[in-house]
Structure 1
Amino acid sequence: MPHSSATSALKFASLFCAFIGLLMFASLLGGQNLMAMFLDIIHLPFDGGQSFSSDSELVLGAISGGLLFGYGVMAHQVTTHVYSSNPALGGQIIMRGICGWFVVDSAGSILAGAWFNVVLNSGFLALFLVPLLAARIAKPAHP
C-alpha cells in the first residue's frame, strides 16, 4: 500500500474511533437503549439481558467514550503531523497505542464474560494495523 493511501486509511480509522467515542457519549443523552443493545451483543447470546442505566454504568460509558474520542483525535494528529513525514516513528507510536488498547480491552472483556468484544476489537485493530503493515511491505528495499 502506498504511504499516501496508508496515511488516508489511518486518518479514517482515527476519525471512526473518535466517532464511536462520540456515540458512546451520545448514549448519555437518551441513547441508553443503543448501549444496552451493544452490551447485549458482546455478552452473547443476544437476549436483552443487559442494561445501561445505572449511575455507575453511565459514568463508565462517559469515561470510555471520552477516552475513545481522545484516542481517535490523538491518532489523527499523530498520523497528520508525524506519520505523514516520518512513517517509522508515527507508525511505531500508533501501533504501540492500538496494540496496548487491544490487549487490555480484550483481556478485560474476556474476564468480564464479554468474549465477543474481542471479535469486535479485532476489526478496530485491523483498521489501524492493516495500513501500517501494508505500507511497510510496500516500501521498496534499500541496499
Structure 2
Amino acid sequence: MGYLEYRRLQTYNSAGRELRLRRKLLIYGTCVRDEYPRILSDFSKGRVALAVCLEEEHFNMVGLKLASIVARVPLEELVILTVDGSPHCVQLHHLAEEVHKVAKNCPEPQHFVIEGGEAVKVDRKAVKLARYLSKVSKILGSA
C-alpha cells in the first residue's frame, strides 16, 4: 500500500488553501501512518490529514497551533486518530477537547483509537474522564 503524503501539523499553514476548501481536519499520531496505513488512508478521505507526535512536540505548542487553525478556518469537522494505550497519544485527545473548550468556533472533536487493528470511536465523555484518575479509580472500585 502506498503512503499518503506525510504532513506535520506544526509545519502546515494555519490557514492553508486545502484546509480552507475542505474544512475537515484529521489529526493523527505519527505512528498510525506506519503501523496502520489502511486505516489512515480510510480516515484521510475528504480530510486534510496532519501528523503529530507528542513525544517530539510539546502539548502547548500543538494546542496553540490547533487554536490558530480554528481561529482562521471555520472547520466543519475535527477528527483525532491515535493508537490506543499510548501515554503520549492520549494527550492529543485531551488537547483537542481543551481547544474546543477555549475556541468558540471549534467543532466538537471526534475521537478514534486503534485497538486490535480496528478503529474504535471513543465518546468525548471517556476522554474527559481519562483526565481524572480519582474518578477512574472510583469506577473501578479501588478508591
Q: As a proportion of its length, which structure holds more strand?
A: 2
Bigger Rg, which one: 1
TM-score, structure 2 length as denominator? Answer: 0.29
- Point out which structure has higher relative CO (alpha carbons under 8 A, 6+ apart): 1
Q: As a proportion of its length, which structure holds more helix?
A: 1
TM-score, structure 1 length as denominator? Answer: 0.29
